[in-house]
Amino acid sequence: MKRREFLRRSLGTFASLGACGVAGTLGNLKLLGAAMAAEQLGKGIPDFKALVCIFQYGGNDAFNTIIPRDGATHAVYAASRGPLALSQTTAAALPLNPAMAPAGGGQYGLHPGMGRLQSLFNGGQAAVVANIGPLLHPITRAQYQNESVPVPPQLFSHDDQQHQWQTAWPDSATGTGWAGRMADAMIDANASSQVSMCMSLAGSNTLQVGNVVQPYFVGAYGLEGLHFMEGDWTSAIRRRDTFNAIRQLAASPQAHVFERAYAGIMDRAIENQIAIQAALDSTPAPAVVFPDNYLGAQLAMVARMISIRSALGMQRQIFFVADTGGYDTHDNQLAQHAALLPNLSDCMGAFYDATVELGVANDVTTFTASDFGRTLSVNGDGTDHGWGSHHFVVGGGVNGGRFYGTMPSLVNEGPDDAGWGQIIPTTAVDQHAATLARWFGVGDGALADVLPNIGNFASSDLGFMA
């Protein structure tokens, strides 16, 4: 049965179920309806677009990633950061030259090791989105301290803030992410493909989980399959025969519905692996050399997956990769940043070069995300869990060479300080996600289903996408 027919029959079946059964078994029926609407509107999408999320697990310190380099702003920064402040001379070594001054004032440069991102920013292929974080409503320092405006629960917790960044729905217990719901809304863009629009190179994540679309996992160094399906040793043959017998039994008309579902899932997984591996084997990898590490390997594999998009029938793709090490810098931050940030910059630069080689630089947008920012205040040689943070967006379709949003005050206990050095975001994750969703092709009618709280904010388009 084709996916479109499955959706039609599913919606007909759901209409006959009670509300509790629908909610408990299949989640958000409204968004599934939006997927059906998208299926009708999305037929024959001629263009290709891909989003790539680089998640910096642990909470990156944005205030030592993007550093003031004018005298007045740097003096405030140095007073707040103390021993962690990078010198004005060092910061000025990688100046960012925006087309217009950042909102909030000041001049800024990048960490000394981020030369590739500096060249992309100054060349117009990268932008900075300032002071983003999970929000329910815009909020000021006074409102936060008076508790007069609700805020996301469990602020400053790794797990909770990761979840809220990836769901963009902090006041819900949803297990779906905004990219997964976006894929639901665009489900028929890949009408000729049975492979998921969402692919993760870093294992399970919430960002890509939809009500209909589920992520497909790919290893950073190659596809991960069922090893006993290919081996010819005795134990593998026995396991394979047993496995196939279970599949056949589960697929029989007498099998329970869950058994049949299991058989279908396993069959699709095996078929997808065969199809993807065949496409990879027949398509040369991009010639660009990536850094020899886990993040570089993930992005190299993303480039390979983009290179076989036509063979897989993909007009839209969403990828998730993770930079997993060292960002929770409670101590030794200067040394850890000196290793982490140059690698991030080099990997993002190599990936952009690969999109140029593949001829899709204008069609692929990469963006960073993280649990939270770090505190403006320091705890000796590190920082603690914060809130707002700056992030990068890279690609030929980006209105680059600019800062979007408002750069915060860097005064401890200043107007943007929640009270313990945690900077209050002035741009919501919802707004950031909505800007990407619009570029990806999500229409106004489905935007509120993808981002239910977007109406709480003044703008659903920050302007950083062409």
Residue with tokens 């300080």: 417
Contacts of 229 by beta carbon, 8 Å cutoff, 6+ apart: 240, 243, 270
Distance CA 262, CA 251 (A): 8
Q: What is the pLDDT of residue 235?
A: 65
Work out the number of other CB atoms within 10 angstroms of the CB of residue 10: 16
Going by DSSP bridges, is the β-strand pair 403-404/126-133 parallel, antiparallel, or unpaired?
A: parallel
Going by DSSP bridges, is the β-strand pair 364-370/49-56 parallel, antiparallel, or unpaired?
A: parallel
Q: What is the pLDDT of residue 16?
A: 29
Q: What is the pLDDT of residue 359?
A: 98
Q: What is the pLDDT of residue 272?
A: 86
Sequence-ordered strand ranges (E) for 275-344: 316-323
Tell me if 60 sits within 8 A of 373, measured CB to CB.
Answer: yes
Distance CA 206, CA 202 (A): 12
Query: What is the full per-residue pLDDT of the chain (466 aa) written as tens digits?
Result: 444 444 433 433 333 233 333 333 333 444 444 444 444 444 548 899 999 999 999 999 999 999 999 999 999 999 999 999 998 665 566 999 999 999 999 999 999 999 999 999 999 999 999 999 999 999 999 999 999 999 999 999 999 999 999 999 999 999 999 999 999 999 999 988 889 999 999 999 999 999 999 999 999 999 876 655 566 656 666 677 777 777 776 677 777 777 777 677 777 777 888 899 999 999 999 999 999 999 999 999 999 999 999 999 999 999 999 998 799 999 999 999 999 999 999 999 999 999 999 999 999 999 999 999 999 999 999 999 999 999 999 999 999 999 999 999 999 999 999 999 999 999 999 999 999 999 999 999 999 999 999 999 999 999 999 8
Distance CA 323, CA 329 (A): 14
Distance CA 117, CA 127 (A): 9
Q: Tokens standing for 416? A: 């943007």
Q: What is the pLDDT of residue 236?
A: 62
Q: Considering just the CA atoms, what is the radius of gyration of the chain in Å?
A: 23
| Domains, the chain | 49-222+284-456 (3.40.720)
Distance CA 206, CA 70 (A): 40
Q: What is the pLDDT of residue 237?
A: 67
Written as one letter, the residue type at 61 is: D
Work out the number of other CB atoms within 10 angstroms of the CB of residue 452: 21
| H-run or E-run covering 163 | helix 158-167
Q: What is the pLDDT of residue 92?
A: 60
Tell me if 293 sits within 8 A of 37, measured CB to CB.
Answer: no
Q: DSSP character for 151?
A: -
Work out the number of other CB atoms within 10 angstroms of the CB of residue 207: 25
Tell me the whole-structure pTM to 2 decimals.
0.88
